[in-house]
Amino acid sequence: MDRLLEYAARHPLLVGGTVVLALALAAYEFSRSRSGGQAVGPPEAVRLLNQGALLVDVRSQAEFDSGHILDARHVPQDQVAQAAETLKRFKDKVVIMCCESGTRSSAAARVLQAQGFTNVVNLRGGVQAWRAENLPLVKEGGGKSRRDGTRA
């Protein structure tokens, strides 16, 4: 510790420059982590959906089939970059990204933003938060979907 303090005393410009660079890097990483768009909770997502927003579910096929939000478009996370071309007509509309917990969809939101989508938001807490609010999910199966989450 004494040697570190001695070094700092002898080289204040180097130490100061290192501190400034570390702070700049931390600020950059913080802003980059927040660039996945704003996050909205389930009630706000319902309001946006009622106003014509597009909901993109990036979970796996099995997760999607086990229960998804009505009218959600399924695009697995690893296919978001390729699907941006088919979603391009929504570039200037609100696009809500969702997954099970909100983590994967945040990364997917950043991918769409990098491809020019201007209003991408993430469903905070994902489908788990949607369930916690007792909002309806649709399950696929038997050729018929029902809003209450039961199979026909």
Active site residues: 99
Cα 122 from chain centroid? 4
Quick one: which of 28, 31, 34, 27 has its CA closest to 124? Answer: 34
21: Cβ contacts below 8 Å, ≥ 6 apart: none
Whole-angstrom distance, CA of residue 87 vs CA of residue 109: 13
Lateral strand order in the sheet of 39-40: 39-40, 120-123, 95-98, 54-57, 73-74
